[in-house]
């Protein structure tokens, strides 16, 4: 039983890690595509070429969202059509390799995984050659599909291991029953001959 429990934990942990890694990789691909689709104008304002973006960004509450927040205080953010009337407020941040990972509450009570990166664009409309404007690019995805996959896998794992445990207990019972049958016959023979 201890071996089965340990094996189930290891399998479940590996599956959950792989799912989260795949989800994070997909978000990273969308963020890279979003940054590549950004076109700054001479004043440093940025616009996205929508045709290069994931189509899910265009569907309201699709579960995939982007948001661009200017570093300049008071400047309004830009956001995808999918966010509609909501905004992303990242929390539980961790930084790794110039990127920010975190979570946020999304529209329709969605639990979002968020990836963000700060990007600076040059401003060619000024006399200064080093003038630039910075933005934080964010991509967020709904974790419900990952959580559903984890729940389905966990249920399958529990039923599979319960069946395996039942089979092992039954095999041990049969083995003991068959293995001890010669002793039982010897006991019965001794009982017949006092």
> Do 137 and 162 reside in the same domain of the chain?
no
pLDDT at 5: 76
Question: And the tokens for 114?
Answer: 């968020």
> Do 19 and 42 reside in the same domain of the chain?
yes
> Do 22 and 58 reside in the same domain of the chain?
yes
Helical residues (DSSP H) of 69-143, grouped into ranges: none
Q: Which domain holds residue 181?
A: 149-192
- Residue of 29, 37, 147 whose CA lies nearest to 99: 29
pLDDT, block means (10 residues), the chain with 194 residues: 78 90 93 88 76 84 92 84 89 90 92 93 67 88 92 89 86 81 74 69
Q: Are 179 and 67 in contact (CB under 8 A)?
A: no
> Do 29 and 89 reside in the same domain of the chain?
yes
Q: Are 100 and 113 in contact (CB under 8 A)?
A: no
Please give the tally of structural domains in the chain: 2
- Residue of 25, 13, 36 whose CA lies nearest to 115: 25
């Amino acid at each position: 039983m201890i071996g089965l429990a340990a094996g189930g934990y290891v399998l479940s942990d590996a599956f959950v890690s792989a799912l989260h890694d795949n989800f994070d990789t997909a978000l990273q691909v969308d963020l890279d595509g979003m940054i590549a689709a950004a076109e700054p104008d001479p004043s440093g304002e940025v616009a996205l070429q929508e045709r290069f973006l994931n189509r899910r960004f265009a569907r309201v509450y699709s579960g995939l969202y982007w948001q661009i927040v200017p570093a300049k205080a008071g400047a309004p953010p830009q956001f995808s059509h999918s966010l509609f009337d909501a905004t992303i407020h990242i929390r539980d941040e961790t930084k790794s390799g110039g990127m920010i990972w975190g979570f946020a509450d999304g529209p329709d009570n969605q639990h979002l995984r968020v990836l963000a990166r700060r990007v600076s664009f040059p401003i060619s409309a000024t006399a200064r050659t080093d003038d630039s404007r910075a933005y934080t690019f964010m991509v967020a995805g709904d974790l419900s599909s990952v959580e559903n996959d984890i729940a389905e896998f966990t249920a399958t794992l529990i039923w599979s291991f319960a069946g395996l445990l039942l089979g092992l207990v039954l095999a041990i019972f049969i083995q003991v029953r068959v293995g001890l049958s010669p002793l039982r016959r010897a006991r019965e023979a001794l009982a017949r001959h006092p």
